Structure 1
């Protein structure tokens, strides 16, 4: 078993294997995040039955594929004509194989098996409720990138599969620390500053990271993967959303609108920007994108109406709209040739903020409040345009951390003008929110603060190293 990171997930799988009952485990998460790899590596690619659904495959094609798997594992020569028949043959094969040891069944890309009018779900329901759940030796693992399908049809099922899943593993992208571990495993030794920049481009997506070449620099790798015609990730965007969502065009409209607004948009603003009706369909699209990790819903501090604001949270999608959509084919060495320009600086600032928000636990560790209950939000002044705080951490110990996040190539220096801006911002926050709590200014930067006569305004600082 060769798995980098994923310690929590491995412990959970250990418990399922050791369980004295049958378990039905749902593994889900964003496309390319390593779901199939985790399960195949953990079980050393050895299963008592395994089959992978076919993208856009017809009912007949899916059943024929299932039949081939039945033949491989049980020597079954019949090709099932219906899903009831298919799962009946699976049950028969498992019963013959049952010696009292745990039987591992892995249905990969399960959502793809549920083709139109196939009755797949009803047949699967009969298999689990009528046999597998009562056998006590079955470990059934279902997996898929179509998070919406798994959420609607399995995890939130209100019919025969209601509350049947005994475990769920939502596989998230690697953290910065896990990304560093993954790179080291590939023999790539980069500075943490470079790793943060890499994360800002592609996040902690193992599939993307696996294409990096150790003999190339970070900038060379980015050009090789994204800007060279037919680079390995050159056409990734066109495949990413189309394979995840049925109404892919509408989902893309939403993320494109969010890519243009760093502070995020409300549902109403998204409707106006995309021309999509502000109805239940848009709500579903937002839920789909949120559940899949592409967007992040959050509240503004003190927003009693609980009107949710949405931000683009997927690094690759942001990178695509900022640099790739209108750039491919124009300059094969774009990233190396534009080491510093206004567009890149603006992207760096926003993307670094997302890195910080994805590592709140590390920020809390550094601040010494890991065990303190906190609420996270953003804040924007109603009376002073431009006065905003992108990360507010309200603590149970009656302290509010106002976090300034700055991506810098060296120590960040606070000058007289910026010192005044910070003081006015904190005072405006106190006045408008009417808070009686203590306000602490926290700086989160790549290399920390440069010591000068103004740096003392920060009660605490978090450096890039602290995020690992």
Structure 2
């Protein structure tokens, strides 16, 4: 078995499952290439006794033939005939597992579970019957079902209203690596890069293990991005369409939403997305947004003082944002391509939005850096659009509302050098704090917090303005 990087909570849970002494039905879901299969195969101390993976867009006959081959492999090579139906298939699985379960704890793994449930195949009812009538009574059985189509897993398994209702004993939503886990993973692969270089890589491809696995020692961030994103054989050159179409049967509407959000770094409301993508205002739009959220591509933020009805949606998948901004339609390819983009305004706007998105995903690390790890907080965004010309507007992209009567107003700035506050920006910051206090009527103490790559160069020039300074180092903790 190989070493599992990071995943501290997940490994603790798998260890608990292995030692529970009860029948366990474990549902694991997360986006494509995030490392679900790797975690299952390497996160237990015991080896898997039976493993079966669904085939994308395969027929019922092909899925059953694949199942018979998995049975043959688990049985030690003795050829096993293809079952006529899923009911028969599970009867055959029982025969394989019975003698194993009588001896020891046994792990059974169904990978790409949603792909197995082909139309009119009868798979899900047969699986429900298998679990309820037999498997749930086997105290030595650990049954793991895993899928990249997170929305399908939640709707058909976790929130199932039929035979699987409340049957899942444990669930794991596997997210991409944090930037700290990314750093650890690359170190284990003998890749040595400083934090600024690692941050640039993370901003382009996120913490997806399968993407990071392509990084070779001795390359700079610019060389890595050139090779993976701007050469025709690079993994990320045409990953975008494969990514969405492998997760969603009718992916075009999902892609339309992602494209719309890519143009609006500050986020869009549900109604704005419906208008921009020509969607119906009913349940279908809600379903699309839910599927993209559960799969980890977009995130929902409730503005300060508002309710879920006023939620803003943001594109927070690093690769999707990078692809739509730079890779798609780019005429430039080959060595040196990425460095050609960096002096431009597109790079500046992208890097700012990408850095903000990464900070929003690392709130626990930021709270620790501020010194409020144990304080209850609520994270939100806020903006005020003036209705009259005499009023001033303001926008806050990260606001940490604390239970100790304080609020951290966070400004996030990505820069190659220590960030310098100019007079105009200092005035803007003062105005932002004033407008927020006036419009929200909050009586809490406001702490302006600067989150930058290398710190603030001249904060002493504006005494009392910046109450807390954090650098990118806190994100790696």
Distance 1:305 1:215, change over 3 A: closer
Structure 2 counterpart of 1:274: 277
Please tell me whether residue 41 in structure 1 is matched to residue 48 in structure 2: no
Please tell me whether residue 69 in structure 1 is matched to residue 76 in structure 2: no
Structure 2 counterpart of 1:457: 465
CA distance in 2, matches of 1:428, 1:290: 31
Structure 1 counterpart of 2:142: 139
Structure 2 counterpart of 1:152: 155
CA contact (8 A) 1:198 1:218 kept: yes
Please tell me whether residue 395 in structure 1 is matched to residue 402 in structure 2: yes
CA deviation after TM superposition for structure 1 residue 455, in Å = 5.8
CA contact (8 A) 1:416 1:454 kept: no
CA distance in 2, matches of 1:444, 1:136: 50
Q: Which sits farther off after the overlay, 338-347 or 257-266? A: 338-347
Structure 1 counterpart of 2:18: 17
CA deviation after TM superposition for structure 1 residue 125, in Å = 0.4
SS at match of 2:375: coil
CA contact (8 A) 1:228 1:328 kept: no
CA contact (8 A) 1:27 1:169 kept: yes
Q: Which sits farther off after the overlay, 97-106 or 383-392? A: 383-392
CA deviation after TM superposition for structure 1 residue 336, in Å = 2.5
Structure 2 counterpart of 1:183: 186
Q: Give a deviation string over 1:169-199, Cα, whole Å, max 9, x none.
A: 1111111110110111111111101111111
Which residue, 425, 435, 439 being the options, matches 1:432? 439
Matched ranges for 1:46-61 at <5 A:
46-61=47-62
CA distance in 2, matches of 1:283, 1:357: 23
Number of residue pairs matched by the alignment: 468
Please tell me whether residue 380 in structure 1 is matched to residue 383 in structure 2: yes
Q: Which sits farther off after the overlay, 433-442 or 411-420? A: 411-420
4+ long deviations beyond 6 Å: none
Which residue, 378, 403, 415 being the options, matches 2:422? 415
CA deviation after TM superposition for structure 1 residue 461, in Å = 1.2
Q: Which sits farther off after the overlay, 294-303 or 66-75? A: 66-75
Distance 1:328 1:129, change over 3 A: farther
CA deviation after TM superposition for structure 1 residue 71, in Å = 1.6
CA deviation after TM superposition for structure 1 residue 96, in Å = 2.8
CA contact (8 A) 2:86 2:122 kept: yes
Query: TM-score, normalised on structure 2?
Result: 0.95
CA contact (8 A) 1:27 1:142 kept: yes
CA deviation after TM superposition for structure 1 residue 456, in Å = 3.9
Matched ranges for 1:41-120 at <5 A:
41-43=42-44, 46-74=47-75, 75=78, 77-120=80-123
Q: Give a deviation string over 1:323-353, Cα, whole Å, max 9, x none.
A: 1111166565320223321100110000000
CA distance in 1, matches of 2:106, 2:46: 14
CA contact (8 A) 2:101 2:138 kept: no
CA contact (8 A) 1:229 1:329 kept: no
Which residue, 231, 254, 265 being the options, matches 1:262? 265
Which residue, 281, 290, 303 being the options, matches 1:287? 290
Q: Which runs of 5+ in 2 are unaligned?
A: none
Structure 2 counterpart of 1:212: 215
Distance 1:221 1:330, change over 3 A: closer
Which residue, 367, 373, 385 being the options, matches 1:370? 373
Which residue, 248, 251, 254 being the options, matches 1:251? 254
SS at match of 2:246: coil
CA contact (8 A) 2:197 2:220 kept: no
Matched ranges for 1:201-350 at <5 A:
201-304=204-307, 306-327=309-330, 333-350=336-353
